[in-house]
Chains A and B, each alone.
Chain A
Amino acid sequence: MEDVISQGLIVGILATGIRLATPFLLAALGEMFTQRSGVYNLGIEGIMLMGAFMGFFVTWRTGNPYLGILVSLVVGALMGLLMGIVSITFKAEQGISGIGLYMFGWGLSGLLFRLYVGAITAIEGLRPLRIPGLSDIPYIGTIFFSHNWLVYLAYILVPITWIVLYKTTWGLKVRAVGTTPEAADTLGVSVDGIRYQCLILGSMLAGLAGAYLTVGQANMYADYITAGRGFIAVALVYFGRWSPLGILAGSLLFSMADSFQLWVQVLGISVPYELAVILPYVITIVALAVSFGRVWAPAALGRPYERGTRG
């Protein structure tokens, strides 16, 4: 600890944690919609990799990170569409097709990188966006308002997705399709239509989460840059009980624990590093195990809908 004042330490831990939670939040909020409609997409990691690559690639070529982010959204949508064709239209086993999508995304992003970039290259990504007034508040400004706008967007999406899911007709349809698709179908809601919309929306957010890694965090691309973050995002949806606030809590818990262990290691507090590294996972598992109530999942999760059968 020596020379670092504890206030600075706490600010450091919190500011780092806020930033680290961003890709999890973006991807998990998207996956929440997908799963709420009854489809689980394990291909998030692959979509993130493609979003990460395209975000990087377009930014590198055009010098415009906004264009890169836009393209990553489009690529995410396309991969969501592909997943939809396989798992909704053709009713393939969702777990398997999701893993297929992951491998597809990893393979394709690596291949495109080799063909069109060739060597690890740095880009000018997003700069931190200072918010007049807010960014100048001592401590609070550094913790919450010293980041780039994708970070703010991820947190703003929490209340927005909550409103969309619980207060709009579309959100009601999503929830209906995910729990009792036959009832929704009877009432004239297109089950497959809603599922396609959710899958594409979720995949766009996964693409955005990938772009955040390359354009907003690392400012470069290298093979397998996601390093498992897509799978953690899927786990956080379960942790968060398919609700935006739960996902926010899970993402923050995981990322704050991660940030904490990084600072503990750097400041040389003598803990075996193996223990430090697993801390975020352990805390998340423990929180999940001791948290009250039984786990609730969308009833039709993972089951393709076929008219005339009991879902």
Chain B
Amino acid sequence: MKEWKKILTILVAVTFLATLAACGGKPATETKKEGETKQPEKIRIALVLPSTVDDMAWSQSMYEGLKAVQEKLGKDKVEIAVSERLGDAVNAGAAIRQYASQGYDIVIAHGAQYQSVLREIAADFPKTTFAYGTGFQTAPNIFAYDPQAQEGGYLLGILAAKMTKSGIVGIVGPVESGDAIKYNNGFQQGVAAAKPDVKVRIAYTGSFNNIVGAGELAKVHMDAGADILTGSSQQAVGAIRAVAERSGKYWLSTDMDQSSIAPNTVLAAQVYHWEKVVEKMVSLRKQGVLGGQHLMLSFADGTLELKYNPKLADKIPQEAKDAVEKARQQIVSGSLKIELPKEQPKK
């Protein structure tokens, strides 16, 4: 009996540990470490994510960008390691430090919250390149990347203003910070520019990953009259699903094309092309530039893009598309600048 108990205890403990190791660790390591025989031209990139590689938003868009770079430069040239669910910057710090000490060339901490922890670690590893965003403060070996989310927000705002029948547009916000502020602000400006009498209502869940909460917030928005909704971060999927359940209501996406979740609901999306940003960091590093640059993502350089959902293309009047296209060209040419309130993007 004693023996049996002991074995069972060990079994339970092993199951616990195995699951933790499988999930808390690095489930998405793409290439195995090849011992100590390091080919000189191989670049090793580590990615630290606040949510998961399949969150259908912020984290997944970066992961897919990284994969695209690996695909392009060759699997033997790029090694990728990913750590997920590290939204807490302190826990993330441990992973970032570990990657740096394991000799990864580029460590990307994908979130604004990693800024200060990155500064601390980067000083100890001067030969390693670090990157984070949304942000703009750099160091000699830190890149800051910075999607101009307000540009796409502005364009989608025009579209929302043209599409709404109730005259009310709802934003399901996560936390009032970083990317969300820029996107929401641009969106409001876009709506105001297209139709000043359309109301934009903003509410926040206070979290990036409260999927059910985002869905409930979307329902409240719709109950209160909104018929076009939008919002950023990984919790947006919950809101999209809630919108999809009601007819005549539409969603506008950002971060990535989310139309696969609700093909009859997502009208258009602002898509981030992270692969171009990652590629730039890789090539800068090859030239000996380890950091210190503020890398913008914008419509002008093609790192941001507006995508319509082909399935719903006939729902959008040509006049709305023309207005969006006109603004897009103005943004690309630089004749239209979407200004953010003064205190942005400073924290």
Q: Which residue numbers of A lie inside 8 Å of B, CB to CB?
A: 3-4, 12, 16, 19-20, 82, 85-86, 89-90, 100, 103-104, 106-108, 110-111, 113-114, 118-122, 213, 217-220, 222-227, 229, 259, 262-263, 265-268, 273-274, 276-278
Contact = CB atoms under 8 A, between A and B. Distances in A.
B23 A106 contact: yes
Contact of A267 (B54, B56, B204, B224): B224
B334 interface: no
Given A16-B219, A263-B220, A222 B206 contact: no
A113 B27 CA distance: 13
A274 B206 contact: yes
B209 A227 contact: yes
A91 B223 CA distance: 50
A110 B52 contact: yes
B20 A227 contact: no
Contacts of A85: 8, 12
Contacts of A277: 204-206
Contacts of A113: 54
B259 to A, nearest CB: 12
Interface of B: 5, 8-9, 12, 15-16, 19-20, 22-24, 27, 51-52, 54-56, 85, 170, 173, 176, 199, 201-207, 209-213, 215-217, 219-221, 223-226, 234, 237-238, 241-242, 244-245, 260-262
Contact of A217 (B22, B212, B234, B244): B212
B56 A107 contact: no
Nearest to A117: B54
B220 A262 contact: yes
Given A107-B20, A224-B85, 16 more contacts: A20-B216, A82-B12, A85-B12, A104-B15, A110-B52, A111-B19, A119-B56, A120-B261, A220-B261, A227-B209, A227-B213, A259-B220, A262-B217, A268-B202, A273-B206, A278-B206
Nearest to A111: B23
Contacts of A20: 216
B237 A267 contact: no
Contact of B170 (A266, A274, A278): A266
B79 to A, nearest CB: 21
Contact of A262 (B23, B203, B242): B203
B250 to A, nearest CB: 16
A107 to B, nearest CB: 3
A266 B216 CA distance: 12
A90 B8 CA distance: 10
A46 to B, nearest CB: 10
A106 B52 CA distance: 13
Mostly, the A contact residues are helix
Nearest to B172: A266
- 7 closest Cβ contacts across the A-B interface? A107-B23, A277-B206, A265-B203, A273-B204, A107-B19, A120-B56, A227-B210
Among B16, B173, B261, find the residue whose CB has the most chain A CB atoms closer than 10 A. B16
A213 B211 CA distance: 10
A273 B212 contact: no
B30 to A, nearest CB: 14
B220 A266 contact: yes
B220 A108 contact: no
Nearest to A113: B54
A111 B219 CA distance: 30
B241 A220 contact: yes
A103 B23 CA distance: 10
B55 A266 contact: no
30 contacts: A19-B216, A20-B216, A89-B5, A103-B24, A104-B16, A107-B19, A108-B19, A110-B23, A114-B27, A114-B52, A119-B54, A120-B237, A122-B261, A122-B262, A213-B212, A217-B216, A218-B211, A218-B212, A218-B241, A219-B245, A220-B238, A224-B209, A227-B207, A262-B220, A266-B170, A268-B199, A268-B202, A273-B204, A277-B204, A277-B205
A223 B22 CA distance: 15
A219 B224 contact: no
A122 B211 contact: no
B225 A268 contact: no
B48 to A, nearest CB: 16
A16 B216 CA distance: 8
Contacts of B217: 262, 265-266
Given A90-B9, A119-B56, A274-B206, A222 B237 contact: yes
Contacts of B85: 110, 223-224
Contacts of A110: 23, 52, 85
A274 B203 CA distance: 10
Contacts of B216: 16, 19-20, 217, 262
A121 B224 CA distance: 27
Contacts of A223: 51-52, 54-55, 85, 209
